[in-house]
Amino acid sequence: MVNEQLIWAIFFLPLISFGLIALIIRPFFNQASAIAGPIAVLSIGASFVISILTFIERTINGTLTLVGDPINWLTIGAFKLEVGILLDPLTTTMLVVVTGVSLMVQIYSTFYMKDPGSHHGTENQGSDSEPAELGQPVYARYFAYMSLFTASMLGLVMASNVVQLFVFWELVGLCSYLLIGFWFHRPAAAAAAKKAFIVTRVGDFGFLLALMYLFSKTYQENINYLNIQTINENLPTLVSSGTLGAGALTLIAIGFFVGAIGKSGQFPLHTWLPDAMEGPTPVSALIHAATMVTAGVFLVGRFFPLFQASQDAMMVVALVGGITALFAATMGLVSNDIKRVLAYSTVSQLGYMMLALGIGAYGVAIFHLFTHAFFKALLFLGSGSVNHATGTFDMRFMGGLRKKMPITYITFLIGSLSLAGIFPLAGFWSKDEILLNAFRSGSEGGEIVSMTVFVLAIIAVFMTAFYMFRALFMTFEGEFRGGSEKDPEANPHGPVHLGESPFLMVLPMLILAIPAVIIGFIANPPGELLGIKAHWMVHTLDHSLPDSMHHLLKGESFSVPLAAVSSLVALSGIALAIAMYKPKPLISPESIGKTLRPVHTLLYRKYYFDELYEGIFVRQIYYRGLALASDWTDKNIVDRAVNIVGWTGANFGGLIRQFQNGQMQMYATVTSIGIIVIAAIFIFGD
């Protein structure tokens, strides 16, 4: 039986791991830094076990009630700020995702991070000098950051009020900065970390403004409108009473969504996410599968009743999601870095989740988040395994690894098939439900937005299948093309050692391959089978929302014809990849690149968004605008004001000194003048 103390332990165990490693082991027991890995694994492993039990009792069986009374954090008069746990099916689903993926990543990392130099410099080099701490202290620092990152994400998904949520929201951003810039001596890593931190802060500012506006509109002394459950359940009353009008609802929802755009790398705040690949590969797996990027989707899901109450906000969410799904997929078509291909894939799949939320398919969106976490983590760990053998992430210098790394190949193939949405793997079931709901929303309801996002999503299906199998063939098929020894940017540290990765790296991939195959059907079967209810997960997620919303939701459906169409589209993408990238290709990629050079250049340069932001926002608006204006204000207003205050003080002091001269007649004169002034005020004041 899971109790409140055990549920709190899900959060506190990784936090304790961080404290032990960062505050005790690393500063005082450097020689014992090797135990940092096992400590992190054991703590998150225990959290995972408790999360599974909580998921079974709360979501599957429905026997576990919400956690008890919250803890009083702050009291100001009649205002109380409380800390507690909101334990609904969304929370329990996220707990399984975060702890499960984190556990696999931590196990993988115990070997991957043991000897940073073994990765031939592609992970930790880039300059002629290495940091003084390179070695075991790096190992301890890594697991300290990862433990704090996991604890922060767990605190975010468990939060019962908006202030508590926002605190952990910001802490997740801080941890991402530390982990993306983990190899801080590399200029590229340091720049990527700053970029991620600054870009996500843009979104966070919108989120903060929306929170403040929501509280200002809803605050009542007898009702805690900082409590998330209170906000969601009382929303109809707030709307009917006029407390929240249509305009206010839209502004608040859009503000929340701006925060989600930043964290989840949605268009146009997507630019930080591909650059986040500068961090260690296990960090990329955790960020892109289960933590930071899913936080944005979680935020929209957590306040879904608020979004549902504003059709304008829902339209914005759906359109941004659909555009992002296609936009990111196009960039994945031409990238040569295997981690960046997976990064663009993550952005695209997050777009799928957002468009599902935007058309009202709440349970389906979270279902896709659930399945995506496992096969995306599998793919990132596979890319790390390939890097361990070849010393590079550039697919142009790979090839021929299928026979050398059979386990990595098979697991990467499973992940690619699942991501492409091929029957009967996990991605098939969640992706197709999104497509079906978008299609039905557009065709039955006549909604142009829904049909538009459906078209965008179906095109993205083709592209996803193509670029994933392009990556698979370039990496594993054909002849080996030299790895880091041929890659001029790899900065190799030793000879390439082709062969399967060590057991501790292979084991998590084998484990993750299982849910990548079966979890979609088990979690959301189209019909009742062996006692498993049809669509039980989507049904449970949908019915955890307020009763007033159930008639508005979409989901719990499956269409064989549409599934066949989407599968055919995905298979067409795979077929094109075979024709272009298998040994002895039927279509030359080089000739296609030359024929479509302007398009290829546009995609390869990421639509010039980095140059656009650098040229307009950084150089023109910030440097030549805000910075120059601030400099002028500092020199001409602030400095002069300070100088005037100083001059006034000095001269006024001199004036006052004239009266403090020790002459009795001067004192008598001043006193007399004062008496006359006071008398005049009393006489003529009326």
Give the residue-averaged pLDDT of 547-552: 66
Non-local (6+) Cβ contacts of 126 within 8 A are: 183, 185, 186, 187, 188, 189, 491
If one compares 652 and 52, the residue with the highest pLDDT of the two is 52
Q: Residue 552: which pLDDT band, with cuts at 50, 70 and 90?
A: low
Would you state the pLDDT for residue 103?
94
Non-local (6+) Cβ contacts of 582 within 8 A are: 473, 477
Q: Alpha helix locations (H) across 582-627?
A: 589-595, 597-604, 609-612
Rounded distance between C-alpha atoms, residue 654 and residue 669, angstroms: 19
Non-local (6+) Cβ contacts of 571 within 8 A are: 422, 465
Would you state the pLDDT for residue 121?
44
Q: Residue 621: which pLDDT band, with cuts at 50, 70 and 90?
A: low
Task: Name the burial class of residue 144, with classes exposed (0-12), middle (13-18) and buried (19+) by CB atoms within 10 angstroms of its CB.
Answer: buried
CB neighbours (10 Å) of residue 470? 26
Cis peptide before 424 (omega within 30 of 0): yes
Would you state the pLDDT for residue 472?
94
- For the cut 90, the answer to whether the pLDDT of residue 183 exceeds it is no
Rounded distance between C-alpha atoms, residue 269 and residue 271, angstroms: 6
**What angle in degrees, to the nearest 10, is found between the helix axes of 292-302 and 246-263?**
160
Give the residue-averaged pLDDT of 616-636: 70
| 65-to-154, 254, 472 alpha-carbon distances in Å | 19, 32, 46
If one compares 641 and 412, the residue with the highest pLDDT of the two is 412
- For the cut 60, the answer to whether the pLDDT of residue 443 exceeds it is no
Closest CA to 93 of 51, 62, 63, 57: 51
If one compares 482 and 369, the residue with the highest pLDDT of the two is 369
Would you state the pLDDT for residue 644?
83
- For the cut 50, the answer to whether the pLDDT of residue 126 exceeds it is no
Would you state the pLDDT for residue 416?
94
Rounded distance between C-alpha atoms, residue 411 and residue 414, angstroms: 5
- For the cut 90, the answer to whether the pLDDT of residue 18 exceeds it is yes
Give the residue-averaged pLDDT of 38-59: 92
The amino acid at residue 287 is I
Would you state the pLDDT for residue 440?
80
| 377-to-284, 346, 384, 408, 542 alpha-carbon distances in Å | 9, 10, 11, 13, 26
In the structure encoding, which two tokens stand for residue 617, read together? 């926002």
If one compares 273 and 65, the residue with the highest pLDDT of the two is 273
Could you report the per-residue pLDDT of 130-158, keeping only the tens digit for each? 444 444 468 888 999 999 999 999 999 99
The amino acid at residue 147 is S
Could you report the per-residue pLDDT of 285-336, keeping only the tens digit for each? 888 887 788 899 999 999 999 998 888 899 999 999 999 999 899 988 888 8
If one compares 1 and 454, the residue with the highest pLDDT of the two is 454
Could you report the per-residue pLDDT of 353-411, keeping only the tens digit for each? 999 999 888 889 999 999 999 999 999 999 989 988 888 888 988 988 999 999 999 99
- For the cut 90, the answer to whether the pLDDT of residue 470 exceeds it is yes
Q: Residue 619: which pLDDT band, with cuts at 50, 70 and 90?
A: low
If one compares 507 and 582, the residue with the highest pLDDT of the two is 507
